[in-house]
A and B are shown apart, each in its own frame.
Chain A
Amino acid sequence: MPRKVAVIGVGNTQAVSAFSETREISQIAFSAIYAATKMAKVSMHDIDITFFCTVDGFEGTNRLDRTMNSFGQSSHNPVVMVNTGGTGGASGFKEAYHYVASGFCDVAMVYGNSTGASVVNGQQILNTASPPLFEKPFGIGALQMAAFYATRYMHEYGATEEDFALAAAKNHKAAAKNPYAHFRKGYSFEQILASPMIGWPLRRYEICPISSCASAIILASEERAKELSDTPVWIMAVGSITDTFQTGYRDYIGFKQLRTLSEKLYRATGINNPLKEIDVAELFNPFSPFELWEYEALGFCDEGKGSQLIRDGVTDIDGELPVNMSGGTLCTNAGISASLNRIGDVALQLMGKFEGIQVRSPRIGLAHAWGGNLGQFNSIAILAR
């Protein structure tokens, strides 16, 4: 019989620039994992299984899970290596949920680390994910991928560069209060609009950094969760959805599949009016415009109306549904762990333990991530107190 599963511990490390990182990979792992075990009130030996998420090609070592030794390998607990690109952290979380819900084990950990800490030139690595024969030769990197979507959105719905800057400003303001975030300067709307254009229409402060930080989340079965935690955060639904690989199929207008996935999970959890019923959300925005069409795909507003939510402050701290009060992926992006951070930050908000802008008594939270070649994959987790 499937069991209820809760998040009982979250551990983060303070983000720094990947280029100035001085900690070795397993040291960063130790910090995040140790913090998570402390919150969960478990020892490393209580963890039955660990899921490690990264993209090997972005690391200096293949199958980094083996050499890190930070996952209780001395107790011979299994370590499962999950690699689904940018949604890796979310996929690892989903796996952990399945294994505990299925009754295979009682306590599971999922971990993501600083992917970007190794690579000397970040942009070229995304090119290795392009279909080698037909798309790679055109030098597509993450920036171009994002710009395609942003340009199309402006064309379809009349969104403006100001809208993108407003979205970015909300995130930067929140990150300034988050002690774990990377960019904490709190850039204003004006500063963002004045920042240099990197790849039209994306400006410097609308683009994520390459951060170094890690995140660990500990999940437990209902019985163990009630024994160990005063603030278990129940996992109501997790899922992912897959698009085609060859991007010739894409039309670059928003994330249609995210809508399909969200509708499926809302049906499963009985959510009819997401804007009213969801109290806090973390959406995946390595580039600020993404937040806008993610609102739409997730049913927070009608198609094309994402900008209106931003302009009306609906997704800021005093609004109906605060989004990205961590500063989001825009202000801290350590690679694959960024997808795990979204879930960890929602869990912390629901626990009332978020160290930054804490949303008032949230009951239901949603975490989202996307990744892969031009957003091939989307993932959602819905959590509740």
Chain B
Amino acid sequence: MSRMKVAVAGYATMGYQGEGHARADELIFNVTSAALEKSRITRDDIDAVVIATEDVNDGITISNGLLVPAAGAYNRDSVRIETGGVFSLVSACASIMSGQAKCVVVSSADAVKYDPVSISNKSYDPYFQRPLGVNHIVSSAMLSALYMHKHHATENDFALLSAMNYGLAVKNPYAHIKKGYSPEEVLNSPIVSWPLHLYDISPISFGASSIVLVSEDKATSISDNPVWISGYGMGSEPYFADWDDLVKMPGLTYAAKSAYKMACIENPKKEIGAIEVCNLVSPLELMEYEALGFCDVGSGIDMLRRGKYSEEGNLPVNLSGGVLCTNGLNSSGLFRTIYMLMYLRNELPSLACKSNKVLISDSDFHLGFPGGNQGVLILERRT
């Protein structure tokens, strides 16, 4: 099984909240120390550090300067990837599989309060789109409206999806929003940018997460049955684009294909036991099911209405509560990966793990459409 080359040696996350109470480097130091302890890897074993943050979310330029030492990088190799948690984990995998490192820490934190709408607005080009005041909420809303038009989805469907995520987050001790809103409460929340209601949109969450990855030979000395990263893929979408293409999420489709190939997965619907999708706003979840190949285009709503996507249904989705309930702009990718690690290792008392393969998808939707980047990660445990 040549795909099992990189294993997870340890991980740690913390309870995410609506406010920050510590500096980012303190948070990273805490979760990294906890992850190392769990892994029985010492600080001396660390060869390299990858930090998954964006300068703009950290409030300083070259923020990796502040953050990499907090994850143990002093005197070692380090890098900072701004394209999210999955991309950062892939960087660590590449480093290990190229023989350059045997042990890599991947870490991220959300500690600084900022205005997310301002940030996404500044991520648009200054010539044609930024002057219109477009941001991730306005553009996600337009993409959602297009999806509704093409596939006859309704605000009710989106509210149902949102409520599913809220319900699941109630059982996640680390999730931020534990209010468990019902579909009615979601529909009654004010419309921010049609068709998105306030509760269809993620809040901003504060917290930190850290994962320690090791090479195959180190993994076998640490554990009999570690979790392996068996596949990954990444994709991008053009910024100057035709929106009719965008709603099919071509970048995610590309990333998924690449990940399935690496993980030797021919039938994702049958082989993957649980998925975490990046639902910055609820409608995106439906588009992601389709792009990942879990249902045909346009059938997402159908399956939703028939209850196929739920904890008890055929495919548990967003057991963590998704990005909707815990949205650390820097760390949600790592956070949801950690929740899936806990699930695979049967560490979640309220959830019994029913499979040995899970999928996490991560994107920079928080910067808006078009022009996004998508990452897909497959975790596997030998039965």
Contacts and interface: CB of A to CB of B under 8 A. Distances in A.
Q: Do A and B associate with each other? A: yes
Interface stretch (A183-191, A234-242, A286-294): A234-242
B195 to A, nearest CB: 25
A372 interface: yes
Contact of A78 (B62, B97, B235, B371): B235
Interface in B161-195: none
Chain B CB count within 10 A is highest, among A94, A245, A372, for A245
Contacts of B235: 76-78
A322 to B, nearest CB: 28
Contacts of A104: 94, 97
Nearest to A131: B66
B123 A98 contact: no
Interface residues of A, number: 59
A63 B57 CA distance: 11
Nearest to A125: B61
B61 A67 contact: no
B95 interface: yes
A67 B371 contact: yes
A248 B93 CA distance: 34
Nearest to A94: B79
B349 interface: no
Contact of B61 (A58, A73, A102, A239): A58
B308 to A, nearest CB: 28
B239 A66 contact: yes
A372 B62 contact: yes
A55 B61 contact: yes
Contacts of A60: 126
Interface in B110-138: 119, 122-126, 130
A61 B120 CA distance: 10
Interface string B119-159: 10011111000100000000000000000000000000000
Contacts of B372: 66
A9 B119 CA distance: 35
B98 interface: yes
B254 A80 contact: no
B236 A76 contact: yes
A84 B87 contact: no
Given A73-B238, A95-B79, A129-B65, A67 B124 contact: yes
A241 B76 contact: yes
A244 B123 contact: no
Interface string B344-377: 0000000000000000000010010001110100
Contacts of B279: none
Interface string A47-82: 001000001111011110111110101101111111
Interface string A114-157: 00000000000100111110000000000000000000000000
B80 interface: yes
Contacts of B93: 102
Contact of A95 (B94, B238, B371): B94
Interface in A308-343: none
Contacts of A67: 123-125, 239, 371
B367 A260 contact: no
Chain A CB count within 10 A is highest, among B60, B62, B91, B238, for B62
Interface in A138-179: none
Contact of B373 (A79, A103, A128): A79
A80 B81 contact: yes
Nearest to B71: A242
Q: Name B's interface SS.
A: mixed
B280 to A, nearest CB: 15
Contacts of A78: 87, 234-236, 255, 373, 375
B59 to A, nearest CB: 7
Chain A CB count within 10 A is highest, among B78, B79, B123, for B79
B53 to A, nearest CB: 9
A99 interface: yes
A57 B61 contact: yes
A286 B62 CA distance: 18
A369 to B, nearest CB: 13
B79 A82 contact: yes
Contacts of B27: none
A209 B335 CA distance: 43
Contacts of A244: 69, 74
A263 interface: no
A180 interface: no
Chain A CB count within 10 A is highest, among B54, B122, B373, for B373
Contact of A257 (B75, B239, B240): B75
A260 B75 contact: yes
Given A49-B234, A129-B60, A239-B77, A80 B123 contact: no
Contacts of B98: 2, 97-99, 101-102
A372 B61 contact: no
A229 B82 CA distance: 32
B311 interface: no
A172 B66 CA distance: 35
Chain A CB count within 10 A is highest, among B65, B81, B93, for B65
A376 interface: yes
B69 A242 contact: yes
Contacts of B87: 78, 80
B123 A63 contact: yes
A376 B63 CA distance: 12
A73 B255 CA distance: 13
Interface in B48-105: 49, 54-56, 59-62, 64-66, 68-69, 73-83, 87, 91, 93-100
Contacts of A99: 94, 98
Chain A CB count within 10 A is highest, among B56, B75, B125, for B125
B18 interface: no
Contacts of B255: 78
Given A57-B61, A74-B238, A373-B65, 6 more contacts: A61-B124, A76-B253, A84-B79, A128-B61, A239-B77, A245-B69
6 contacts: A66-B371, A76-B235, A81-B83, A98-B91, A101-B98, A102-B93
